[in-house]
Structure 1
């Protein structure tokens, strides 16, 4: 069977399923990360801001997008993922709020062959995370080391 690196072509793209951001997500992420910034945890303070309430951590939104990628992979593709290799140009152009449903579009923009015993190369994805209303809430280049 061909490896994920061999099965993937520049230009391939797909959209993940959606995921609704919950109160529990934001509270749990604050606890796990130690990021108790008022933007995420202080409803009273954030109520009268331009955000209109608390917003999800950008790092949570990124983590959710990578989770959606993982969930969209076939069992064979999952076996061929070696490691998260990095992220470039990570941006959060709009907030993600509790109750928003987000999904992500992944487009293969580059394949970088590697001659290692454990991997065939690095696949680079252009990632766009969107709310269900189409607003972009995340953009980045995600690099994954694969067989």
Structure 2
């Protein structure tokens, strides 16, 4: 079953296990993204910044920071429900490297819902990021706490 929208305003009770959302648009990871992220994060690892080092590695060129890909994917697919907030992430894996000019898409699926306390419910989303060939690049679980209606 599909989620009603990317961004919703729903109480915990309205969110169902198995619900899916996939973005309609894709996003290309550019050299500018990598350079800007390096400046913000101070992560100037040669695999991100040096064409020579990247070419001499097992990769076919410079690769994006895993946290950059994660941040972009999160912005693409997260439910910005004002009744919820992030409780953290589990099982974040950078499955395959993301080269400059790779185009990504993202999807999420509700894999778990359970009451957290009298006021909040716990919702776990499984995220998957893929390239244009359908290869999985990143996976994680996003845990949110959502207001209960009652």
TM-score range, shorter chain: 0.7 to 0.9
**Matches of 1:60 and 1:112, distance apart in 2:** 30
- Residue 135 (structure 1) aligned with residue 135 (structure 2): yes
Q: Could you state the TM-score of these two structures normalised by the residue count of structure 1?
A: 0.85
Count of residue pairs the alignment pairs up? 138
Which structure shows the higher helix fraction? 1
State the superposition RMSD in angstroms. Answer: 1.7
1:12 alignment partner in structure 2: 19
> For 1:47-58, what aligned pairs fall within 5 Å after superposition?
47-58=55-66
Deviation at 1:6, TM superposition (A): 2.1
Q: Could you state the TM-score of these two structures normalised by the residue count of structure 2?
A: 0.83
Deviation at 1:116, TM superposition (A): 5.6
**Matches of 2:49 and 2:11, distance apart in 1:** 40
1:80 alignment partner in structure 2: 83
Unaligned runs of 5+ in 1: none
- Secondary structure of 2:71's partner? helix
Give runs of ≥4 in structure 1 deviating > 3 Å: none
**Matches of 2:15 and 2:73, distance apart in 1:** 20
> For 1:74-113, what aligned pairs fall within 5 Å after superposition?
78-81=81-84, 83-113=85-115
